Amino acid sequence: MYLVTLLSFLFFTGLVGLCTWWITRKDDHGSSTGYFLGGRSLTFPLIAGSLLLTNLSTEQMVGLNGAAFTDGLCVMVWEVVCVVALVFMAWFFLPRFLRSGVATVPQYLEIRFDHQTQVITNLIFLLAYVGILLPIILYTGATGMVGILDVPSMLGSLPESVGMEPGTLALWLIVWAVGLIGSVYALFGGLRTVAVSDTINGVGLLVGGFMITVFALAQLGGDGGISEGANLLVEQQRDRFNSVGGENSSVPFGTIFSGIFLLNLFYWTTNQQIIQRTFGASSLAEGQKGVLLTGALKLLGPLYLVIPGMLAYSLFAGDDIKADQAYGMLVNKVLPAPLTGFFAAAMIGAILSSFNSALNSSCTLFSLGLFKNVIKKDASEQAVVRSGKIFGWIVAVVAMSIAPLLANTTSIFGYLQKMNGMYFIPIFAVVLVGMLTKRVPPLAAKVALIAGFSVIAIGYFVHPFDIIVASLHEYHFLGIVFAWLLILMLVIGEIKPRETEFVQEDVGAVDMTAWRFAKPVGLLLIAIVFAIYTTMADFSVLMQ
């Protein structure tokens, strides 16, 4: 069984690598535009596929299903509400980014504010990606793979000879294997290679994700099959099939309108790791179609990112397992060996997708934001690309060294969202004010970035402020800090405004003709979100 699983895994992983190399073998990897933006040639299927799979990584598959194992359907907020953020991206944010012809969010802030704002934002992004995002991607990916492939059993007696627990050794081995493979994708191929491999893997992961749900329902239903499994699931967890989270859940209903919505907005409109592929769009229309197609696909997210976690609860609730182990155990238990190998390959694709996307974005931020703008302003195109590759290898090694140390974290998805808030909120506040106003000065942006990052970090980690934050719920705390930052920037803008109004110029990077169906399709997606929420809501939990 192990051999069949391993061989099918290696076959599908190798097939994706071969297809990606064949499609991108003639791409321009020598210039900064070709390497970091895919030559601004990405069409909507590649944009949507890459956006979806960059998001659909193991911190989602393992982490969100783990949250569903604990809290039930209410955690679908991370999938469903993000559709509204994607609509705003297509309507409001994307046109402004593309009109400026930028490759990074900090570059936009340099145009709107000044050079120092760009440098501060670059440093915050890089610290967050290296210290938070990349290690979490590797850790959650390795955790999922250990469960799916049952790696400790494959290792046999080897762990005893190296003086390490089987699970710990498996974790370290997979973290470094995935990190090295992902680094090769990101650092030798550039953005288009990442986007193509994402799209191929995306098909496999979506198919695999739905397969897990179907096989798990069939196993739960026994002789009654899938329909009986679905009936049993609803019957056993009727009180957990609720889109409204109670006060004791990780996502109380009120937090949807504060921190959760803000985190979704930043993630889909301003997070460099995610939106970089939209900067490589061949036109505004292609970018908008890609973003809105992603929104439509995200509506299906709960079927493979939440329901499997609830199925795992029905199957394993009495087994005393950690929430983040539930998804890997479910895959290993319900899939036949050849399909387990296929799904493991798709999971590796998801890990690689998020890892190499974050790594590519880190290289872009360093090369274009710091190396060319601060360290060596007269650097050639080749030197800029080379600096990104060297920096990328350093970052990859650091992330691979940190990742296994996260093993003691209780809920990796909750930890990720908490840590994200430190840089999501201040950067999003600055970008939003920059786009909505014309007189707010660079001073306001710099104060907001530094103050926002510092206040959230103090609120999370410094006693007695952490007690106050805990009493509010951390997502409400993020909403309060965001509102405070907006007010602070607007007040500074009134006291010391820019001497002249900011005027955004179209640099002619791409065709800026909007897709004519962008507004009606966006409105339809928002209507579907509200319909899903109201249909699945039981507000009586708020009275308890």
- Mind giving me the DSSP string for 390-445? HHHHHHHHHHHHHGGGGGG-S-HHHHHHHHHHHHHHHHHHHHHHHHH-SS--HHHH
pLDDT winner (highest mean) among 157-166, 329-338, 407-416, 455-464: 455-464
Asked whether the beta carbons of 76 and 301 are under 8 A apart, the reply is yes
Percentage, residues of the chain above pLDDT 90: 26
Which of the four pLDDT bands, split at 50, 70 and 90, describes residue 408?
low
Give the pLDDT score at 542. 62
254-276 confidence digits (pLDDT tens): 888 888 888 899 889 998 878 87
Closest to 364 measured CA to CA, from 396, 391, 329:
391
Q: Would you say 451 and 429 are in contact if contact means Cβ atoms under 8 Å apart?
A: no
1-10, 71-80, 424-433, 486-495, range with the lowest pLDDT = 1-10
> What is the overall mean pLDDT for the chain?
81
Q: What are the pLDDT digits (tens) for 222-253?
A: 888 899 999 999 898 888 888 888 778 888 88
The answer to whether the CB of 453 falls within 8 A of the CB of 422 is yes
Each residue of 20-37: pLDDT tens digit? Answer: 666 655 655 445 454 445
Between residues 439 and 508, which one has the greater pLDDT? Answer: 439
36 in Cβ contact with 367 (< 8 Å): yes
> Residue 496, SS3?
coil
Q: Against a cut of 0.85, is the pTM above it?
A: no
What's the rounded Cα separation, in Å, for the pair 426 and 453?
A: 6
Inform me whether the pLDDT recorded for 43 exceeds 70: yes
Report whether the peptide linkage leading into residue 464 is cis, meaning its omega lies within 30 degrees of zero: yes
Summarize the confidence of residues 28-54 as an average pLDDT: 66
242 close to 73: Cβ distance less than 8 angstroms: yes
Which pLDDT belongs to residue 544? Answer: 58
pLDDT score of 89 more than 80: yes
Average of per-residue pLDDT across 438-453: 94
Residue 17, pLDDT above cutoff 90? no
Q: Which has more pLDDT, 538 or 502? A: 502
Partners of 281 in beta bridges: 42
Say what the pLDDT of residue 59 is.
67
Q: How far apart are CA 112 and CA 110, in angstroms?
A: 6
123-129: average pLDDT: 84
Residue among 290, 364, 487 at smallest CA distance from 118: 364
**Banded pLDDT at 1 (limits 50, 70, 90):** very low
The torsion angles phi and psi of 537, rounded to 5 degrees, stand at -90, 140
SS3 category, 283: strand
Residue type, 4: V
Residues 6+ apart with CB under 8 A from 106: 117, 118, 119, 121, 122, 125, 272, 365, 369
pLDDT at site 496? 93
